[in-house]
Amino acid sequence: MNAVQRLRHRVGFRGGPTAFLTSASARCLSWIALAGLVLLLGGCRTSVNYASVAGPRYAGAAASRQAPSATGSDSLRLVSFNIAFAVNVDSAIALLTTHPALRGADVVLLQEMDEPGTRRIAAALESAYVYYPAMYSRHTKRDFGNAILSKWPIIGDEKLILPHRAFLKGTQRIATAATIRVHDTDIRVYSTHLATWLEGGPGARRDQLATILDDAAGHARVVVGGDMNSHGVGRAATARGYLWPTRDGPRTTALGRWDHLFQRGLTKPPGEVAGTVLEVMHASDHRPVWAAVLIR
């Protein structure tokens, strides 16, 4: 038995010697091509991470310079919206300023934003804002990150770098954190965008959300929202005592219900407390979610 025959016998191949060598060569070439593709994708860095927790940082005061304190209301309306690379900002402004469920929101969390788009939306909503990009995209030629807009004063903010960079491209995920003062009550708010399924598995997203919840542990009242790229990851928040008002409802993306709001230390008002806006006026491939809370 020659070398080829012995190898054929070991792998159980039944074709002739020429067919075997052809098949083996094809498999070898396939593995080489796959390895080359992995190396190519890993080497083509389409984004540059902003590795410093200090920034870049962008912030602005509310255009009206007045918080809605005259009403004395202890009810807040929260919104989270991924605006898909901040491409259709005009449509997003039209939606946020005209839809009954979104118009007049106290706190708006935005994902996939750049600074010019964030500033324009904040001006249209007469809100203060803070924005931290996670990275600069060479593909879109703009920053990519999360923003918090608030009708109420933002008295502090920071950037959290989340664990687990993307498998191949090495891109990072972050959360933008802000402390908002409503009347004489401080609320810690986080806008985040967890890893996609191509960037990390369910364990990575649970770790990323856990990093945010750990940071929030010292605050009495907390809101966490954003694009979670998952539905099930919300169980990690409820296990830590958070309410999940956006748990049920229609898909927020073509792939599932991935956009959510979680709250702790805030109560539910009577009546309808959360919802999803189905018609987005071509503003995004995501649907915004909203929730109402009471500061009690």
Mean pLDDT score across all residues of the chain: 88
Q: Please check the confidence at residue 72 and state whether its pLDDT lies above 90.
A: no
Tokens of residue 41, six digits: 């994708």
Confidence tier at 8 by pLDDT (50, 70, 90):
very low
Confidence tier at 46 by pLDDT (50, 70, 90):
confident
pLDDT in tens, 145-169: 999 999 999 999 999 999 999 998 9
Within 10 angstroms of residue 154's Cβ, the number of other Cβ atoms is 22
Alpha carbon distance 7, 13 (integer Å): 8
pLDDT of residue 67: 59
pLDDT of residue 39: 43
Q: Please check the confidence at residue 10 and state whether its pLDDT lies above 50.
A: no
pLDDT of residue 4: 42
CA-based nearest residue to 213, from 246, 244, 248, 170: 244
pLDDT of residue 73: 74
CATH code linked to domain 48-294: 3.60.10.10
Within 10 angstroms of residue 65's Cβ, the number of other Cβ atoms is 9
Q: Please check the confidence at residue 221 and state whether its pLDDT lies above 60.
A: yes
Tokens of residue 56, six digits: 């870049």
Predicted TM-score (pTM) of the model is: 0.85
DSSP labels for 165-212? --TTT----EEEEEEEEETTEEEEEEEEEPPPTTT--HHHHHHHHHHH
pLDDT in tens, 262-296: 999 999 999 989 999 999 999 999 999 999 999 97
Q: Answer whether 79's CB lies under 8 Å from 138's CB.
A: no
